[in-house]
């Protein structure tokens, strides 16, 4: 392995480390999907899915194909699917250790929680401010 490749490999793994981006790739494993189909499968918001699909397309991991009014996305190289399969296999063996490892930090919440409703407080309305209070 060339040491000059290490920063590029690290950049690839940083890109794959984002839970939302990984969820998008997982959704695309079985074939091409529209943005709305990816939104339904991942439970992410449409703007979030579009942003991650754009990022994955710029990096060459996903390709776009216009079909009428819709754009369908699919994984550009089947080696990405193979990599996801190998990760699952590896996690089957060492997943418990990784979950317990304090050096990696706390795992991110998946799936993401829905946002709570926000309403202005009486005090903020009285003062003409736009500060909001989260409703329990």
Predicted TM-score (pTM) of this structure: 0.73
**Running along the chain, 136 residues long, what does each successive block of 10 average in pLDDT?**
83 92 96 96 96 95 94 96 96 92 70 57 50 50
∠ at Cα 115 (110, 116), nearest 5°?
Answer: 135
Taken in order of first residue, the domains within the chain and their CATH numbers are 3-104 (1.10.10.10)
d(CA 56, CA 70): 18
Which tokens go with 4? 């000059």
């Amino acid at each position: 392995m060339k040491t000059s490749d290490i920063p590029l490999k690290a950049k690839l793994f940083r890109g794959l480390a984002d839970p939302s981006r990984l969820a998008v790739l997982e959704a695309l494993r079985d074939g091409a999907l529209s943005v709305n189909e990816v939104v339904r499968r991942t439970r992410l918001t449409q703007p979030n899915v579009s942003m991650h699909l754009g990022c994955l397309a710029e990096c060459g991991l996903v390709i776009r194909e216009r079909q009428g009014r819709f754009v369908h996305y699919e994984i550009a190289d089947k080696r990405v699917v193979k990599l996801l399969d190998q990760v699952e296999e590896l996690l089957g063996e060492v997943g418990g250790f990784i979950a317990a490892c304090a050096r990696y930090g706390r795992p991110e919440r998946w799936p993401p929680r829905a946002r709570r409703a926000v309403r202005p407080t009486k005090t903020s309305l009285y003062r003409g401010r736009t500060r909001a209070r989260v409703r329990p």
